[in-house]
Amino acid sequence: MREMAPAPGGYNEPEMHLILERACATAGLDSRGSRLLRGHTNAVVLLEKEQVVAKIARKGSRVEDVTRKVEFVRRLMATGFPTVPLHPVDQPVLVDGHAVTFWTYLPQPEQPVEAEQLAQPLRELHALPLPPLGFPEHDNVAAIRCSLSAITCLPPDAIRFMEAQTDRLAAELRDIRFPLAPGLIQGDPQHRNALHAPDGRAVLCDWDTVAYGQPEWDLVTVEVHCRRFGYGPHHYRRFADAYGWDVTSWPGYTVLASLRELRMITTNARKVHHAPTSLVEVQRRVEALRRGDQEFQWNIL
């Protein structure tokens, strides 16, 4: 049987290119010679002739969520916050209900942003006042349960195992007392959701998951990425030192880390239909989860 090709952002290739062409025409940009950069969540495309990045929101995304993100980034830019800038066009551009945004392209070296470089942008973000934009409340448990209900690529016993894990962790989460003040969080801070800026700083580049919540969720996400993707404990240690607080020293760490990993696994499992090559990796992660292997190395999807 021939393996299905990945569907960037949930779109087939002709559909994606049609949306891109129409959005670029509206924005006065040239889409010829464009190149797909990432497609596992949104379709992220480099417009080579313009040196602009177009992001087609994942199929089914709500336009109001993208509009809120654009307004939020405009506010960040106005304060000099370290974010990838929006390209100066009226946006989001809507094509048959699909939202497209445009961003300044920042060419990158081979070396990704290090965890330590995420510390200062996250500290700044966590200290910002909450803008009146109606941000959702960060809820990993609800997101995990939503994904579990939609997964079709795993056997029923694996689903039941993860459901039981979710129930147990959700019960434990209710008793946790958070030491940090709630506020704005990025929701998925990691090495690939930040870029090197020309001035040498790291800038955050993915605001799809920004929400109101506990900063501990951002910090544990960085730790999970350092541990699971082979960066090593020294990489995370430098981040914790730069941020000024080590989430792994807090009694609630284990519950948050376990829930964050469950969310990463279930989100990718839910999207296997659009990224069939990710199935093997999803299965690897589930098997290691069932073994209770906290140090098992994941492959990046």
In this prediction, residues 232-243 reach a mean pLDDT of 96
**What is the Cα–Cα distance from 218 to 205, expressed in whole angstroms?**
15
Is residue 176's pLDDT more than 90? yes
**What is the Cα–Cα distance from 25 to 34, expressed in whole angstroms?**
13
pTM score, two decimals?
A: 0.94
Give the pLDDT score at 293.
93
**What is the Cα–Cα distance from 217 to 182, expressed in whole angstroms?**
10
Domain 115-291 CATH (choose: 3.90.1200.10, 3.10.180.10, 3.40.50.150, 3.40.50.2300): 3.90.1200.10
Residue type, 300: I
Query: Can you read off the two tokens belonging to residue 136?
Result: 């959702």
Q: What are the structural domain ranges in the chain?
A: 8-104, 115-291
Q: How do residues 278-295 score in pLDDT, each as one tens digit? A: 999 999 999 999 999 999
Is residue 226's pLDDT more than 60? yes
CATH code: domain 8-104 is: 3.30.200.20
**What is the Cα–Cα distance from 292 to 211, expressed in whole angstroms?**
30
